[in-house]
Amino acid sequence: MFVWQDKKNRIKNKKQKPKTKDKQARFVDVQDAELLSKDQLKRIKQNRTCATRVSGKRKHKLLKRIRHQQKEKIRMDNPPPHPIDEFSAEDFRKLIDLNVVSYFLFSKYALPYLRLTEGSIINISSLVGNIGQGQAVTYCATKGAITSMTKALAIDEAKYNVRVNSISPSNIWTPLFDSYLKTCPESEEVKKGFENNQLLGRFGTIQEIGQACLFLAADATFCTGIEINMSAGAELNYANKNMRPKAS
């Protein structure tokens, strides 16, 4: 996810408070918007532009609209994981294109305008990029890359007052999760297992992720290179290590 703001809304001095009323996303690229609520999408929709790819001819059309609007932008990716046995090298390359190269390209082509407006980039990563996840080697690899890219880019862009941050969610209740559970014979038990991954014993919500994005975009003006774990403590108190197959 990438966000940038109007130059007129940047902080002029330490005493000046950031203006938050107008700091909603003005340019949106959504490939998988499951982490945004309907209300948030409605707020973003008015007087905004949407796109789904950033390459070739599409890039030039995209940049033309950005030049015209000179406002904020959001991009989101959230594909499901698969075990390594189900991935070929070509599959992995495609996932890298989707999860990493797409972020690189959006940053590359947006930064000339972000530098003019002293804007902000917000990348959606994943908690598993830091702590790992069973049966998701390739997915974890790409999410870890996003987190590392965020920190490195924050260093490079600080001289332009462009902030670069990331959000790493754990289990967030989305239509994807809902569809998956409907295919499970013991759906309630499976759902409870996912809920118990968090110390708070529940899924996160799309509204909570959206609120974190708005915080980083509008209010967190002294934050760059940080990663917010939206995880309800899923990474704490050890994890289930009893995953070895029983000896026959």
Residues that are catalytic:
139
Phi, psi of 193 (to 5 degrees): -60, -45
Q: How many residues does the chain have?
A: 248
d(CA 178, CA 62) in angstroms, rounded, equals 33
Q: Give the pair of three-digit tokens for residue 87.
A: 């991935």
Strand stretches in the chain, DSSP E: 2-3, 27-30, 49-51, 73-76, 120-124, 163-169, 227-230
| 171: its two tokens | 């289990």
Element housing 23 (H / E): none
